[in-house]
Amino acid sequence: MRDIGHFIGGKNVAGKSGRSANVLMPMDGTVQGKVALASKDEIRAAVENAKAAQPGWAATNPQRRARVLMKFLDLVQQEYDSLAELLAKEHGKTIPDAKGDIQRGLEVVEFCIGAPHLLKGEFTDGAGPGIDVYSMRQPLGVVAGITPFNFPAMIPLWKIAPAISAGNAFILKPSERDPGVPMRIAELFIEAGLPEGVLNVVNGDKEAVDAILDDPDIKAVGFVGSTPIAEYIYSRGCAAGKRVQCFGGAKNHMIIMPDADMDQTVDALIGAGYGSAGERCMAISVAVPVGKQTADRLVEALIPRVESLKVGPSTDPSADFGPLVTQQALDRVKGYVDLGVEEGAKLVVDGRGFKMQGYENGYYMGGCLFDHVTPDMRIYKEEIFGPVLSVVRADTYEDALKLPTEHEYGNGVAIFTRDGDAARDFASRVQVGMVGVNVPIPVPIAYYTFGGWKGSNFGDLNQHGPDAFRFYTKTKTITSRWPSGVKEGAEFVIPTMN
């Protein structure tokens, strides 16, 4: 049984609050550890360590800071397999999927090695008589990230890497469900040369979250999770005068045009809808075939593929997906399937009764497929976050376009077609933040930004890419004039370029 505390001031420290939570192994339901839940005082200890370390780190030149990230990448590569195994055992996703989780985080670290270039300001020589104007990007100070259970490596790295490479100190509050990888990430950063105190990890629940939001020395907070919590964190953080960036829920559609390659489409839907047991904010959960013939062909092709999905323990390399993260998550998803049946949707594949031999206490569920789902149903409106795909039939392209455009969420969307005009029109008109054309999960590469619209995003700036450096820095603009050749005398009008 592992006891997981916090990582403060460059060291693993035991929890002092007297409160803890079980860390479960989703594939068999056993308790594999206890994680401490931080008090307000423990959050404050992390902040004090961060405050003490940040000025010296900010004074370290950007290239030297980038070298720490380079070393960190080397260290992670040496532990890639063990990190993936730890992640899979705590989260439930398969080991290949866990490796993808880590890799997508490392790609952002690689991008942040370019911080010396990304932090450069602007300069104008001779903006006026003897006047030069230039700008510089400076760190905010102590910043924090609150990250979800479903990507315990990727999303912490999306937050940590740009924040520290920009010269900030960072406090991470990961999910208490799978804290092992975030804790090891912090240890590896110290091994890579990051000064003690620049990165602190505090495990906890709402008490820790509220302490982060209320602490006056934390200047910015980033969050990824459900929309109700995103709204709460955004409003409370902004009220406390912080810069806040929150990413919430999703209901991602895939539009299937009559000319789409059906084999390619079905492959894409199976992977994007059921990978990681559907516990992805970019999972495709709604398929929208255009026209009855397209819909009939799609459902006919999907049924045997969903029925043949291989569900298995996280350690099974041949499994398509593993268990859900907790019993509560499993019950919630099954409840949505029950609801869909009550609402009148046609459940053409029912995975609720799946049991894994030898792992009867694990949180497993087979793939579910609904047909004839309508926009007034809750299973269409709300995020299910499980291995459930809904087919919403559209008579025309315009009807199909209307669905993601008018939905409450606006995270990701895809269109599958051979028609370039249709794809171009769709990409231009759909009111969603990330669009895929014959790409089912349109997560941008690390040097573009990730972010949805509407109820999926609260704040003005996205994750990773250039926006990350804008979020974690403030711009200072300097106007300088040297006396040589400048006319003396007081000036009483506002300065202009005349």
Q: What is the rounded CA–CA span in Å between residue 92 and residue 85?
A: 10
**What's the topology of domain 252-437?**
Aldehyde Dehydrogenase; Chain A, domain 2 (3.40.309)
pLDDT in tens, the chain (498 residues): 899 999 999 999 999 999 999 999 999 999 999 999 999 999 999 999 999 999 999 999 999 999 999 999 999 999 999 999 999 999 999 999 999 999 999 999 999 999 999 999 999 998 888 899 999 999 999 999 999 999 999 999 999 999 999 999 999 999 999 999 999 999 999 999 999 999 999 999 999 999 999 999 999 999 999 999 999 999 999 999 999 999 999 999 999 999 999 999 999 999 999 999 999 999 999 999 999 999 999 999 999 999 999 999 999 999 999 999 999 999 999 999 999 999 999 999 999 999 999 999 999 999 999 999 999 999 999 999 999 999 999 999 999 999 999 999 999 999 999 999 999 999 999 999 999 999 999 999 999 999 999 999 999 999 999 999 999 999 999 999 987 655 667 777 887 766
Partner residues linked to 457 by β-bridges: 247
The residue type found at 291 is G
Token digits for 202?
A: 């505090």
The separation between CA 18 and the C-alpha centre of its own chain, rounded to angstroms, equals 30
Name the pTM for this structure.
Answer: 0.95
Reported as type and span, the H/E element at residue 82 is helix 80-91
Residue pointed to by tokens 């769709």: 426
Buried b (16+ CB within 10 A) or exposed e, 438-448: ebbbbbeebee
Burial 89-125 (b: 16+ CB within 10 A, else e): bbbbbbbebbbbbbebbbbbbebbbebeebbeeeeee
Enter the DSSP assignment of 276: G
One-letter-per-residue 3-state SS of 105-140: HHHHHHHHCCHHHHCCCCEEEEEECCEEEEEEEEEC
The CATH classification number of 2-248+456-478 equals: 3.40.605.10
- Let me know: does 456 contact 297? Beta carbons within 8 Å: no
Indicate which residues carry an active-site annotation.
281
β-pairing verdict for 409-410 and 412-416: unpaired
- Angle value at C-alpha 46, between 40 and 50, nearest 5 degrees: 140
CB 200 within 8 A of CB 176: no
Instruction: Tell me how far the alpha carbon of residue 135 is from its chain's centroid.
Output: 31
Detail the DSSP E strand segments found in 196-274: 199-201, 218-224, 243-247, 252-256
Where exactly are the structural domains of the chain? Answer: 2-248+456-478, 252-437
Which helix H or strand E contains 3, and what residues bound it? strand 2-4
Whether the CB-CB separation of 21 and 165 falls below 8 Å is answered with no
CA nearest neighbour of 254 among 240, 241, 244, 269: 269
